[in-house]
């Protein structure tokens, strides 16, 4: 309970009554919805932000909440002043709000970080000695790369959700700590700890992963599991208890909350036993000089252990505001409306033979509003540049910080080099393929969510059809590896 409950006038979004027709539901108000951008062909158009998977626009509700709090901003913890006390209350209330949003267990800790990447690096730094990590090659680099101090097993890309579970079970069975399994494998002695890292929804294909089944498989073999919910939490409810995951990580900037904050929530034991992620004030409970000239440090065992330094109070509060706004809007409504938008995009792209949508699990797999595709005869950077310059549509092109997955989906060499969001070559720089076409080294990603109006996806589909049928209206050139309109 806040010490100063009436100090900040926090806006409150009213709950939305479920509607039978998602097409009639209104998108949630977001910043930038009325921004206009110039077109190279002349005139201006309202910007269609279709790059939610990178960073979603801020909810108007979040912005209003932050604006209401901003005059009361102060340093949290240990401050005696009114603003410090109020800010501390909001900071800790935000922790409770996030725990409720994630349906955490009573003993779980919610640690505030900078992002999903930061959260998973924190967990990697907290792994017990001799921990084995199992991660699918399909992961975003944020969950693929942090495990440098552990023994890592990279699992092949599955082609069905059931196959994902089978692949994981086979890998875990090889290190199963059960006596019968050790006897069959010829191993002696207990195995060390293990961790499985898996995404909830792919940042490339948008497909939902069988998290609950993967968690059951992990626990059956004595392993723990961390869920990368960066792409899942903005679109679907995430329940730590229902999914039975040990940790969950997500970022505020994908949850309609800017200001650079993230969350790692879950079991406390590994976090309490690990050295602080950052050493400094806030993480330390007591520091004393020793006679030999050194210092003795007693570290906190709470979430503060891994939150050294002055925390990002604005970022944390914005996450809590977004959690409340999404909960009050009702995920039933949000999911129904998003499925409506997904159907519009997929049906529209299906009418263009030159377009190939990328998928691991097939057309019928449930997904969030993230769709990647390639267009025959087009370099992806050229196509994305034309969407922006000629139609006012913002999408993303490249490998989406998931190089192995995109390479697998494109059928190109997994070890080939590439940079996140940057093309490997510009139009005209690649030799023709054996079939006479131009090799496609990257993909185009369109992504949307709770703030996307129908007009944005309709304009996108129309633009794709026009570009494929008629070509670009403008000339483009290469500048620092990217296609830009020629002037």
Q: Which residues are catalytic?
A: 401
* CA distances, 34 to each of 49, 376, 387 (Å): 11, 33, 18
* CA distances, 442 to each of 53, 219, 254, 411, 474 (Å): 17, 37, 23, 11, 22
**Packing angle, helices 380-391 and 454-470, rounded to 10:** 120
Q: What is the distance, to the nearest Å, from the Cα of residue 406 to the centroid of all Cα atoms in its chain?
A: 16
Both tokens of residue 157? Answer: 């890309």
Q: Which helix (H) or strand (E) holds 345?
A: helix 331-350
Q: Are 11 and 68 in contact (CB under 8 A)?
A: yes
Q: What is the dihedral of CA 418, 422, 424, 426, to 10 degrees?
A: 180
Q: Are 326 and 332 in contact (CB under 8 A)?
A: no
The two beta strands, 393-394 and 48-49, are parallel
d(CA 5, CA 3): 6
Q: Are 261 and 310 in contact (CB under 8 A)?
A: no
Q: Are 207 and 359 in contact (CB under 8 A)?
A: yes
- Give the three-class secondary structure for 219: helix
The two beta strands, 370-375 and 262-266, are unpaired
Q: How many other C-beta atoms can be found within 10 angstroms of the C-beta atom of residue 415?
A: 8
Place of tokens 């494998």: 185
- Distance spanning both ends of the chain, measured CA to CA: 59
Both tokens of residue 386? Answer: 């034309």
d(CA 19, CA 21): 5
* CA distances, 312 to each of 55, 69, 239, 258, 449 (Å): 18, 14, 25, 11, 26
Any bridge partners for residue 88, and if so which?
none
d(CA 266, CA 263): 10
């Amino acid at each position: 309970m806040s010490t100063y409950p009436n100090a900040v006038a926090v806006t409150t979004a009213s709950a939305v009554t479920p509607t039978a027709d998602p097409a009639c539901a209104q998108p949630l108000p977001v910043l930038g919805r009325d921004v206009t951008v110039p077109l190279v062909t002349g005139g201006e158009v309202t910007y269609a932000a279709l790059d939610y998977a990178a960073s979603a626009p801020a909810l108007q509700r979040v912005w209003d909440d932050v604006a209401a709090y901003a005059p009361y901003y102060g340093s949290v913890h240990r401050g005696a002043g009114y603003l410090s006390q109020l800010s501390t209350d909001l900071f800790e209330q935000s922790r409770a709000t996030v725990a409720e949003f994630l349906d955490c267990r009573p003993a779980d800790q919610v640690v505030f970080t900078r992002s999903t990447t930061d959260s998973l690096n924190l967990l990697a730094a907290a792994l017990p000695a001799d921990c084995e990590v199992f991660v699918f090659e399909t992961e975003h680099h944020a969950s693929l790369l942090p495990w440098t101090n552990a023994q890592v097993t990279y699992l092949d890309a599955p082609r069905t959700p059931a196959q994902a579970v089978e692949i994981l079970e086979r890998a875990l069975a090889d290190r199963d700590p059960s006596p019968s399994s050790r006897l069959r494998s010829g191993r002696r002695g207990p195995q060390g700890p293990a961790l499985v890292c898996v995404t909830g929804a792919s940042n490339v294909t948008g497909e939902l992963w069988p998290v609950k089944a993967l968690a059951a498989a992990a626990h059956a073999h004595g392993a723990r599991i961390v869920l990368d919910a960066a792409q899942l939490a903005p679109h679907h409810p995430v329940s730590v208890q229902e999914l039975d995951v040990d940790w969950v990580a997500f970022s505020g900037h994908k949850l309609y909350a800017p200001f650079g904050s993230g969350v790692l929530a879950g079991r406390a034991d590994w976090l309490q036993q690990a050295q602080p992620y950052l050493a400094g004030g806030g993480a330390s409970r007591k520091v004393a000089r020793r006679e030999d000239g050194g210092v003795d440090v007693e570290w906190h065992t709470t979430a503060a252990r891994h939150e050294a330094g002055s925390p990002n109070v604005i970022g944390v509060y914005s996450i809590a505001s977004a959690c409340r706004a999404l909960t009050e809007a009702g995920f039933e409504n949000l999911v129904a409306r998003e499925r409506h938008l997904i159907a519009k995009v997929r049906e529209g792209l299906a009418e263009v033979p030159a377009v190939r949508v990328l998928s691991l699990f097939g057309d019928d797999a449930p997904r969030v509003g993230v769709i990647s595709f390639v267009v025959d005869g087009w370099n992806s950077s050229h196509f994305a540049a034309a969407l922006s310059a000629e139609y006012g549509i913002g999408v993303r092109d490249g490998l989406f910080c998931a190089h192995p997955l995109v390479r697998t989906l494109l059928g190109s060499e997994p070890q080939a080099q590439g940079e996140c969001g940057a093309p490997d070559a510009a139009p005209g720089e690649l030799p023709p393929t054996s079939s006479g076409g131009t090799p496609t080294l990257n993909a185009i990603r369109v992504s949307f969510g709770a703030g996307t109006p129908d007009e944005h996806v309709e304009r996108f589909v129309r633009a794709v059809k026009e570009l494929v049928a008629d070509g670009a209206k403008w000339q483009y050139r290469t500048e620092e590896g990217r296609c830009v309109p020629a002037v």
